[in-house]
Amino acid sequence: MSERFTVVEIISAKRDKHDLSDEQIDWVVDAYTRGVIADEQMSALLMAILLNGMNSREISRWTDAMIASGEKMSWSMLDRPTVDKHSTGGVGDKITLPLAPLVAACGAAVPQLSGRGLGHTGGTLDKLESIKGWKASLSNNEMLKVIQECGAVICAAGAGLAPADKKLYALRDVTGTVEAIPLIASSIMSKKIAEGTSALVLDVKTGSGAFMSDPKDAALLARTMVDLGKRAGVSTRALVTAMDVPLGLTAGNSLEIRETLEVLAGGGPSDVVELTLLLANEMLDAVGIKPKVSPADALKNGMAMDVWRKMIKAQGGDNDAPLPVAKEKIEIKADSSGKLLTLDALKVGISAWRLGAGRQKQGEVLQLGAGIEIHAKPGDIVKTGQKILTLHSDESARFDRAKEALVGAFSIGGVDDPIKRLPLVIERIEG
The rounded distance, in Å, linking the Cα atoms of 296 and 221 is: 30
The rounded distance, in Å, linking the Cα atoms of 358 and 355 is: 8
Q: Following DSSP, what letter does each residue of 138-190 receive, concatenated? A: --HHHHHHHHHHHSEEEEEPPTTS-HHHHHHHHHHHTTT-TT-HHHHHHHHHH
Residue 207 identity: G
The rounded distance, in Å, linking the Cα atoms of 400 and 382 is: 24
Pairing of the two strands 199-206 and 83-87: parallel
Q: Is 290 exposed, middle or buried (0-12, 13-18, 19+ CB in 10 A)?
A: exposed
Selected catalytic residue, list 94, 172, 205, 231: 172
Please say whether the beta carbons of 45 and 5 come within 8 A. Answer: no
230 is catalytic: no
In sequence order, the 6+-apart residues with CB closer than 8 A to the CB of 135 are 155, 315, 316, 317
Beta bridge partners of 427: 240
Helix (H) and strand (E) counts for the chain? Answer: 16, 13
Three-class SS of residue 310? helix
380 is catalytic: no
Number of alpha carbons in the 13 Å side-chain half-sphere of residue 370? 26
Selected catalytic residue, list 69, 186, 187, 235: 187
Selected catalytic residue, list 61, 167, 191, 205: 191
Please say whether the beta carbons of 51 and 28 come within 8 A. Answer: no
Selected catalytic residue, list 93, 165, 227, 344: 165
165 is catalytic: yes
The rounded distance, in Å, linking the Cα atoms of 303 and 300 is: 8
Local structure of residue 398 (DSSP, 8 states): G
SS (H, E, C) 325-369: CCCEEEEEECCCCEEEEEECHHHHHHHHHHHHHCCCCCCCCCCCC
Helix (H) or strand (E) holding 261: helix 253-264
Number of alpha carbons in the 13 Å side-chain half-sphere of residue 221? 31
191 is catalytic: yes
258 is catalytic: no
Selected catalytic residue, list 61, 85, 86, 347: 86
b/e burial code for range 409-423 (CB count within 10 A of at least 16 → b): bbebeeeeeeeebbe
Active site residues: 86, 165, 172, 187, 191
